[in-house]
Structures are given as C-alpha cells and as structure tokens.
Amino acid sequence: MPCQSSDELKKLVKEARTVTKHGQVADYIPALGKVNAHDLSIAINYPDGRCISAGDIERKISLQSISKVISLALVLMDRNKEYVFERVGMEPTGDPFNSVAKLESMTPSKPLNPMINAGALAVTHMIKGNSVDERFQRLLTFIRELAGNDTIQYNKEIARSEFETAHLNRALCYFLKQHRIIDEDVEQLIDLYTKQCAIEMNCLDLSRIGVVFALDGGDPQTGKQIMPANIARICKTFMVTCGMYNASGEFAIKIGIPAKSGVSGGIMGAVPGKFGIGIFGPALDDKGNSIAGIKLLELLSKNYQLSMF
C-alpha cells in the first residue's frame, strides 16, 4: 500500500518550511552538504498500515545520530540491562553531544547517556558478533526488520568520509578505553560506528521504525514483537530525556513526543500507541536539530494534541 499524499500535511510542511532560512546544512563532510537546504518532507505511519505524507519522501538520508537509539535497542537485546547500564548512564546532560569534559569529571568515568557520542560509541561497542562485518550485518538486519524494508543499505561514501574525519570520536574512544569502558581496537569500532551512522533510508522507512517504537516493539503488519516492550519503552524514555541533543528539555515541553534527530536533518518520532513519524529537513538549528522538522512537529503536536505530558 503506497503512502498517500496529504493536503493537510502539505499545508503544515509549507508553513514549517519558512524557517529553513534560519538554519544551516551540516557540511563537515562533503556528502552531507549535497542537499537542498529548503527541503522538508514527512511521512506518518499508522499501526493499521495506513500512511500519509508530504514532500519528496523517497529521498534517502543517512541515519547519523538517529541510529543511536536503534543500536541501543539491539544491545539491550544482546546483553542484560545491568551489563549495559554499568557501561553507560541514564542521565541527560546539559553539555554538547561531543563533550569529553563530563567524562573526566564524573566518577565512575562512564558516559552520561547513550545519546551523546561517548555513550553511543560504548553502545556500538557492545553489539555482539565475531567481526565488524558480522556486527554490522546484525544491526542492518535489525534495522531492515524495524523498517520492513530489506533493501536498506549504508552509504559507502558517507561512511568513508566520516571515518576519515572522526578525530573527536576517536578521542572519545581512547578516553573510554583508558577508563575500561571499551576494550576493542579503536579503528575497528570507528569503522563499525561510522557504517552504522551512514545507514540510509527514506522518510517512509523512518516513520515505519517510529511506529514499531510507538507500538512498544510490535510489528504493525504481523504483530510479531520485534523487540521486547520494556526495551522499546527504555528507548522512548531516552528519546524524551535526551533525543534532541541540548534542546531535549525544550522539545519535551513544547512538543512532548519521543523523538531522535540526526545531523543529516532526519527526525524519527514515535507517538505512543498512535503512529510513527519520519521527517527529513536538512537545515539545522544551532543545537544540530532539523529546524523545520522541529517546527513541523510543533505544529503537529499543537493541532492534534500529541504531547505525552
């Protein structure tokens, strides 16, 4: 069943798109910069399989930080909760996503949460498998199942560019290694992590992953539990407390939807029990979130009373 274009969504997209002029496209690697800053598209996926959309929802984007919440789900399935949360904390932080200062001042020196880079690297480190390839394939298989799309792949050019420039993430890894949070080869972990971040999909796929989280891990088609309900809930909680970088608190107050954003301009949202959302809007605000994507979610949340709070 194809996703239906919605006039109402189109109207909201049009309104939200006006703020793109205040944002900026990430261009720390060339591949991310090759987009139209004024793009904005959205797909909404319902538990019954219905789908509505606006904008060019076929355009592929790399997951970037959105992948953090999915790798966390996989790792929580791979290991028990105690194991995972001994190595990464549960607390939001007022520091930037790539900060190392807190790592230094906290005792023990574990990353504050899985949504900052240091925590996400510790999580990816815990993905089970005998090789980078095997671990990556396990993650990819999981993501394909969540999205209900077997063709999802990663973008080799983006992965390679990020691998080459990931100096800060390497610094975080060595810091984690020093504090015995990780023990694998850093280049290997960076290889796996940059591939994870480079996994590509379109808004439809994103919204379908969202609906699985909205359904506490259940597959909307088959009803199969793709991940245990309590893991889906843990992920949604992190999406609320730290899913939108340093603007998570404001997002919770103004919008109140569990959501995770990425520097590519994507946002994956999960309205509990109701539907999943996939958004692409590459112009970012100063916190690194899609500026028009946030505006669009604000309009949606107000018009349809979607806040959890």
Smallest separation (angstroms) from a copy of itself to the CB of 91: 4
Among the listed residues 29, 27, 52, the one whose alpha carbon sits nearest the alpha carbon of residue 41 = 52
State yes or no: residue 11 binds a copy of itself (CB under 8 A): no
Nearer of residues 7 and 309 to a copy of itself, judged by Cβ? 309
Neighbour count for residue 272 (Cβ, 10 Å): 16
Choosing from 211, 240, 263, 271, which is the catalytic residue?
Answer: 263
Q: Using the rule CB under 8 A, which residue among 26, 272, 274, 299 binds a copy of itself?
A: 272
21 is catalytic: no
Least distance from C-beta 111 to a copy of itself, angstroms? 10
* HEC per residue, the chain: CCCEECHHHHHHHHHHHHHHHHCEECCCCHHHHCCCCCCCEEEEECCCCCEEEECCCCCCEECCCHHHHHHHHHHHHHCCHHHHHHHCCCCCCCCCCCCCHHHHHCCCCCCCCCCCHHHHHHHHHCCCCCCHHHHHHHHHHHHHHHHCCCCCEECHHHHHHHHHHCHHHHHHHHHHHHCCCCCCCHHHHHHHHHHHHCEEECHHHHHHHHHHHHCCCECCCCCCECCCHHHHHHHHHHHHHHCCHHHHHHHHHHCCCCEEECCCCEEEEEECCCEEEEEECCEECCCCCEHHHHHHHHHHHHHHCCCCC
**How many Å apart are CA 290 and CA 299, to the nearest integer?**
14
State in angstroms the smallest separation of the CB of 120 from a copy of itself. 15
Select the span of 54-62, 99-107, 123-131, 144-152 touching a copy of itself (CB under 8 A).
Answer: 99-107
Q: Is 91 in the site for a copy of itself (CB under 8 A)?
A: yes
From the list 245, 260, 271, 290, the catalytic residue is 245
At its nearest, how many Å lie between a copy of itself and the CB of residue 144?
A: 25
**Does residue 94 belong to the site contacting a copy of itself (CB under 8 A)?**
yes
Task: Give the count of alpha carbons within 13 A of 306, CB side only.
Answer: 27
We find the least distance from the C-beta atom of residue 157 to a copy of itself, in angstroms, to be 21
Nearer to a copy of itself, 106 or 140 (CB): 106
Instruction: Output the smallest distance, CB 218 to a copy of itself, in A.
Output: 15
| Catalytic residue flag (residue 177) | no
Our answer to whether residue 245 is catalytic in this structure is: yes
- Binding-site entries for substrate: 65, 117, 162, 169, 193, 245, 263
Per-residue contact string for residues 214-253; x = within reach of a copy of itself by CB under 8 A = -------------------xx-xxx-xxx---xxxxx-xx
Single out the residue of 108, 174, 185, 304 in contact with a copy of itself (rule: CB under 8 A): 174
Q: Name which of residues 112 to 141 contact a copy of itself (CB under 8 A).
A: 112-113
CA distance 263 to 243: 12
Residues contributing to the site for a copy of itself (CB under 8 A): 89-95, 99-102, 104-106, 112-113, 167-168, 170-175, 177-178, 186, 233-234, 236-238, 240-242, 246-250, 252-253, 256, 258, 272, 307-309
Q: Which residues are catalytic?
A: 65, 68, 193, 245, 263
